Chains A and B, each alone.
Chain A
Amino acid sequence: MSPRPDTVTDLHAEPALARTLLSWEPLGFDPLIDHFRIYAVRGESAPEEPQESDLIAKTVYPNVAHTDLDPAGETWTYTVLAVSDAGRRGRPSAPVTATSQPSVTATGREIATIGAFDGRTLEHHLAPTSYAQIPEEFPDAVIEYEQGADEPGAAWPYLLPGPGDAWAGKKPYRARWTLTLDEAPQADLDLAVWLVDTTRLGGILRVSANHEHVTDIELPVGSTRGSREGDATVPGSTLRRSFHEPALPAALLQAGVNVLEFELAEGGWAAWDAVGVFARE
């Protein structure tokens, strides 16, 4: 009989937007680890022995993301144990408690949004699979969207292609979002950019407001499946969501018409979940 797996050590929890990222020390290959079992209990304590009803995930990797948490933030206590190829279980790790980062989509006052912050591209134009029509409908690589006049299903394609996308002409596509503010903001706003997936190329999403550079969002390497699958919340989905919430400086905005521009400057496409502008409360 191969030995019992070691106890999982160095369990670490990193709060993130709408999720908590867990990682721990790998256990090597002897014995071969079938998988790690991750248990989570709401609040700041966990039972000494993990309960199977608290199992939230199994993974072969030494990390996992506890996803789909309330954007307002959730507190959980985690333990992890290893199972060997022979089905033997190691001792559970020491518990770790973490609270996910609250999102501006929950803490802020909504000013304008495109789409729903729900882990799906489905409400957007051409979703979930008709990406090939994007270069046909937008030959100049520019997408125009006017708040109040346009709807996501008709005017906001679910992918924003980039120079890494041969199928879209290898161009840095730009999505221009025109929105009208009744008055100039007195304080900085927050921009929420939630993506359902990106490509294996990663990339840079350049954000500007009224032609002034705001930030370059570094796109993570994704699964490249968001061009064909539109729902990251189905069990077992391999779509790799990412969440970005940079500040939108008040000085760049004005009363009346404003234009926010997203340019996929480097890399491959991003698949939109939703974008939004929020005021801090």
Chain B
Amino acid sequence: MPASAAPASATAAAPAPVSRRRLLQASGASAAVIALGITAPTASAEEGPQPEGLFSLGVASGAPRPDGAVLWARLAPEPLAEDGHGGMELRDVTVRWHVAKDPEFRQIAARGQALAQPELAHAIHPKVEGLDPATDYYYRFSVGRQNSPVGRFRTLPAQGADVESFSVGVVSCQAWYHGHFTAHKHLAAEEELDLVVFVGDYIYEYAITASNLWRQGVEVGPAHQVETETLEQYRLRYALFKLDPHLQAVHARVPAVAVWDDHEVQNDYVGGGSSTGIPEDQFAYRIAVAYRAFYENMPLDIEALPEGPDSDITTGFDVGSLARFSLLDTRQFRDPAPMDAEDQQDPDRTMLGAEQEAWVTERLEQSPALWNVMANGVVVAAITEDRTDMWDGYPAARQRLLDAMVASSNPVVLTGDIHKHVAAELLADFTDPGSGTIGVELICTSVGSDGDGAKTDNYTDDWTQHEYVKHYDGRRGYIHLRFTPEELVSSFYVVDWIEADDTAPKQLSARFTTPAGDPRLIQA
């Protein structure tokens, strides 16, 4: 998996230019300290009374495995404290956790403790092991007499096991300020749900001002009215978004896995490069704090803990013999936007970086799974040549990915970014309309970004001009997937409004079946 980004060019820094590579070499010693937030320490911190409301940001689980998962909590009695520390004193706090087979916690399956430290904004990521596969578990945290809400997760089936079905929610683009998280409310209530996949833009870095605060019934103070740049500002932004009760309900319901897109750092940033002209060796400091805040606020495994401006969120897991998931980082290792049409067609251009590309190629080619699912931040299907932030800006890299998909069984790509529901079939070669369908791409609309929206808009024709695009809907919502040995059923849900309140009922925008062995989209 990717270990480091390509060295950055040495653009001018004042007063003494320092290359990003040199900065990387100087980083990393804090990892040992921070590891105490993951595994149980042998010694407890000195305890004192803690303020009420420690678990205001809810609970979460992630990194699911057949024998366990990563649990997550971040202590924050004043979640919107402007220093990003959630109202906690700047000292360590021991957090106990329990995992049980029943919601009343009578059958304890595992227990432990983790040290919540100010280095990680008092976030903890204990890793639970030794559990049974394909089993429902309940978990909660406690500090003193305070208990967290109860979360639930289901361990993955054993490696190679037969699986009758596996259900997944797909969400993206959570511009909290554009409206209520009604989509999360409906997703959390789904009858069948084993996992939620966040496909990018979990937060937005933009200043929240009168011009973009469309979520009615809320106000934000001056600390939120600036673009996030410092660690405290990113921490505060995550806290603001994660206070949403519907988002908390989704996290408490099922394990979450996540890839990022650009807004976890800055709009349209590329690799180590800013979109606003900030020299690369300086932008590295912003990337470092943004990636740290992402780790702190998501139920991620320790591998995702950044070292300076480098983080490894590329990961994967198998759901028995039914499905293999690969989570791709389409931001950190990509080449810059093309300078011109010739550059765009350069066969050496990369979206994933050489190491990650080799990793996912091997996973696809050697996969024993029936369904091969890739989650990534930007659209793979060819739409228009000027959408250079998507794989359209990297056609040679796209072709290499498509070639790898051909070698696998039933490839499925999950994507976000565009704030529209789009269902597309993936061609073996997008320059050859007769090359045949090799898989499907299910692009999830936003949870919040762009507010209410409408079924059709100014961009509809760009997408639906292609025969391989089978559906378009510009409203907010989520996708529900149900994988079985026979088929994949993808249900695109929408809500008609999110700005006024969170009461909009969900509507089925479209439903497709994709037969195993014939990966195309059939309207159901």
A-to-B contact residues, CB < 8 Å: 1-2, 10, 12, 21, 23-26, 28-35, 58-63, 83-88, 200, 202, 220-225, 234-236, 238, 240
Contacts and interface: CB of A to CB of B under 8 A. Distances in A.
A25 B226 contact: no
Given A29-B26, A30-B29, A33-B231, 12 more contacts: A2-B119, A26-B18, A29-B288, A30-B26, A32-B231, A32-B288, A60-B285, A62-B14, A63-B282, A223-B277, A224-B277, A238-B276
Nearest to A236: B226
Interface stretch (B83-91, B104-112, B346-354, B475-483): B83-91
Nearest to A62: B282
A198 to B, nearest CB: 8
Contact of B27 (A30, A34, A35, A61): A30
Contacts of A202: 277
Q: At the interface, is chain A mostly helix, strand, loop or mixed?
A: loop
Interface residues of B, number: 46
Contacts of B215: none
Interface string B280-295: 0010011011001000
A25 B14 CA distance: 8
Contacts of A220: 277
Contact of A58 (B227, B230, B276): B230
Contacts of A23: 14-15
Contact of A60 (B28, B276, B289): B289
A224 B231 CA distance: 24
A200 B285 CA distance: 20
Contacts of A236: 207, 225-227
A24 B15 contact: yes
B278 interface: yes
B277 to A, nearest CB: 3
Residue with the highest number of chain B CB atoms closer than 10 Å, among A59, A85, A223: A85
Given A25-B15, A26-B23, A31 B231 contact: no
B200 interface: no
B30 interface: yes
Contact of A86 (B90, B277, B278, B288): B90
Given A31-B30, A34-B289, A87 B23 contact: no
B275 interface: yes
Interface in B15-47: 15-16, 18, 23-24, 26-30, 33
B85 A87 contact: yes
Contact of B285 (A26, A31, A223): A26
Nearest to B211: A229
Interface string B110-124: 000000011111000
Contacts of B120: 85
A59 B277 contact: no
Contacts of A87: 83, 85, 90, 118
B84 to A, nearest CB: 7
Contacts of A26: 13, 18, 23, 285
Contact of B23 (A28, A61, A200): A28
Contacts of B232: 34-35, 58, 83
